[in-house]
Amino acid sequence: MDARWDQSPTLTGTHVRLEPLTIAHAPGLHEAGKDPDIWTWLSGWQPADLAATERMIAGALATPGRLAMAQLDARTGEVAGTTSYHDVDAKHRSLCIGSTWIGAPWQRTALNTEAKLLLLRNAFEALGANRVAWHTDIRNERSQRAIERLGARREGVLRAHKIRKDGTPRDTVVYSLIAPEWPNARERLSARPHRD
Three-class SS state of 146: helix
Element (H, E) at 140: none
CATH number assigned to the domain comprising residue 148: 3.40.630.30
Residue 134 lies in a domain: yes
Half-sphere exposure of 83 (CA within 13 A, CB side): 27
Residue 14 lies in a domain: yes
Using CA atoms, how far apart are residues 88 and 5, in angstroms rounded to an integer? 7
Q: What's the predicted TM-score (pTM) here?
A: 0.94
pLDDT score of 194: 53
Using CA atoms, how far apart are residues 159 and 53, in angstroms rounded to an integer? 31
Residue 195 lies in a domain: no
CA separation, residue 23 to residues 2, 18, 26, 54 (Å): 25, 15, 5, 6
pLDDT category at 196 given cuts 50, 70, 90 is very low
pLDDT score of 108: 86
Evaluate if residue 2 carries a pLDDT over 60. Answer: no
